[in-house]
Amino acid sequence: MNKPLTFLLSGLMATMLLTVGGVAVAATASDTRIAVQTVDRIVAVVNAEPITDHEVQQQAAQLAQENARAPQRLSSSELYKLALERLITEKALQQQARDTGITIDKDALDQAEMNVAANNQITLEQLHQRLPQEGLTVAAFRERLKGQLLITRLREREVEGRARVSDMEAEQYLQTLLAKQSGAAPQALNLAMILVAVPEGASATVRQQKQALAQDIARQAQAGESFEALARQYSNAADKGANGGELGLRSEDRYPELFVQATAKLKPGEVSAPVESGAGFHVLKVLQRQAGVVNLTVMQTHPRHILLRPSSQMSQAQAVAKLQSLRQQILSGKADFAQVARQWSQDGSAPAGGDLGWVRPGMFVPEFEQVMDRLAPDAISEPVVSRFGVHLIQVLERKAMPVSSADAREIARNALREKKIDEAYTRWVEDVRSRAYVEMRDTPQ
């Protein structure tokens, strides 16, 4: 079974997190398993623009999927009301964007579509083939992306430019972070994981089969079999067990609580019994434990890339096709990434084989960084469209590194600015919603 697509664009997670009726709802589209009645009946009007029952039913189905693993599930009527409120808010925001002159051209929409494919680590053609499974046509999908882009541009114009952080505020925020660490700093953990996925809606028999497989994998690992080899053979995680299933050294509060509890009594090198989550059964190995430290650390990445810049001689579509061809040559062993970069990349890093050196978060544009962060070491991305052109990205390695005082202050400044933006955006969305004229019609029972 295919994993549900993530329709959020690079950098849009904060943008599309709408607080509706006191509940945070991520605006995603995902595979649904509930029946949807397609009754084209107007249930609300937002500034003269109608919302149909069919639209609300689709949104409610998405919310049902998002809420499926929540501790307290919403009833059908609660999902319907929440979906309707989300649509009202989105339409009010999109209308304001259009009223202020914001438009989305075809190139921007094409770029957004390519980035959704890259974020899901599939080709554009594969994305289009998957859309019917999500209940969408290509045209409807592009219209949804257009709506997201309108809201993003509006947020950039109305909210982001107004967020300011003074030197004093940044220093105070940094000291708060350091004080939290110096008090009871959570230890750092490096875990490796093998995921035996259980398909959504699987029967009890299938679930038992998956559990038995996970238990057998755990026994093999506990008996001394190579965890890395088992991960590459069996893991259904997004990276398919690349890098031996290693998740990376990070503060334990950045791991799921389930993982922390399952490995709490294990020493480095020991393997847990399978633990179950909504995704399936996880077999975990403790690779490293490290006492909490006061110094701030950041996960740094060592990437390289190949960049083609669209021009009058090469369109964006041609650049994408060329990089897809080069990617296949590299993956098949017919070409070397560094040599291809030296020959084709239209970037200053070309003489170094596309090597970008060690970088910390925030150094690249979001559409590039979002894809880079999802890549397992040695994996090569699908073509990624950014404002600079079309890229192939490969991550060579990652490591947690302490940051200098100057970098720590910059990290604190950026974190505080994002916090201010999120707070301001929530207030602004509520204001736009309150000023919209909304006529509620009778909703189907």
Specify if 48 maps to a domain: yes
User: What is the rounded CA–CA span in Å between residue 100 and residue 98?
Assistant: 5
Q: Per-residue pLDDT for 250 more than 60?
A: yes
- The verdict on 32 and 147 lying in the same domain is yes
- The verdict on 268 and 309 lying in the same domain is no
- The verdict on 266 and 389 lying in the same domain is no
Which of 110, 108, 117 lies closest to 156, judged by CA? 108
Mean pLDDT of the chain: 81
Mean pLDDT of 40-54: 88
Query: What integer pLDDT is reported at residue 406 of this predicted model?
Result: 76
Specify if 427 maps to a domain: no
Q: How far is CA 398 from the centre of its chain?
A: 18
Q: Helix H segments across 223-336?
A: 227-234, 257-263, 316-331
Q: What is the pLDDT of residues 304-362, one digit of tens each?
A: 999 999 888 888 889 989 999 999 999 999 999 999 999 999 999 999 999 999 998 88
In sequence order, the β-bridge partners of residue 380 are 394
pTM for this model (two decimals): 0.52
User: What is the rounded CA–CA span in Å between residue 392 and residue 322?
Assistant: 10
Specify if 336 maps to a domain: yes
Specify if 208 maps to a domain: yes
CB atoms within 10 A of CB 163: 16
- The verdict on 52 and 76 lying in the same domain is yes
Q: What is the pLDDT of residues 157-186, one digit of tens each?
A: 888 877 788 888 877 877 776 666 555 456
Query: What integer pLDDT is reported at residue 38 of this predicted model?
Result: 43
- Give the H or E element holding residue 430: helix 405-435
Specify if 70 maps to a domain: yes
- The verdict on 272 and 309 lying in the same domain is no
Q: What CATH number is given to the structural domain containing 117?
A: 1.10.4030.10
- The verdict on 244 and 343 lying in the same domain is no
Q: Is 357 left (phi over 0), alpha (psi -120 to 50) or beta?
A: left
**1 near 33, Cβ under 8 Å?**
no
Count of domains for the chain: 3
Q: What is the pLDDT of residues 78-125, one digit of tens each?
A: 888 888 988 999 999 999 999 999 999 888 888 888 888 877 777 888
Mean pLDDT of 297-302: 84
- The verdict on 34 and 152 lying in the same domain is yes
- The verdict on 194 and 272 lying in the same domain is yes
Which of 379, 244, 247, 240 lies closest to 305, judged by CA? 379
Q: Per-residue pLDDT for 34 more than 50?
A: no
Q: Rg (Cα) of the chain, in Å, rounded?
A: 24
Q: What is the pLDDT of residues 374-416, one digit of tens each?
A: 888 888 998 988 889 999 999 999 988 777 777 778 878 888 8
Quote the DSSP letter at residue 313: S
- The verdict on 143 and 90 lying in the same domain is yes
Specify if 363 maps to a domain: yes
Specify if 279 maps to a domain: yes
- The verdict on 221 and 337 lying in the same domain is no
Last-in-domain residue among 143, 158, 173: 158
Token readout for 33 is 């398993």
- The verdict on 267 and 314 lying in the same domain is no
Q: What CATH number is given to the structural domain containing 237?
A: 3.10.50.40
Helix, strand or coil, per DSSP, at residue 136: coil
Specify if 152 maps to a domain: yes
User: What is the rounded CA–CA span in Å between residue 367 and residue 307?
Assistant: 14
Provide the residue range defining the domain that includes 123.
17-158
- Give the H or E element holding residue 43: strand 42-46
- The verdict on 315 and 269 lying in the same domain is no
CB atoms within 10 A of CB 190: 18
Query: What integer pLDDT is reported at residue 341 of this predicted model?
Result: 96
In sequence order, the β-bridge partners of residue 20 are 23
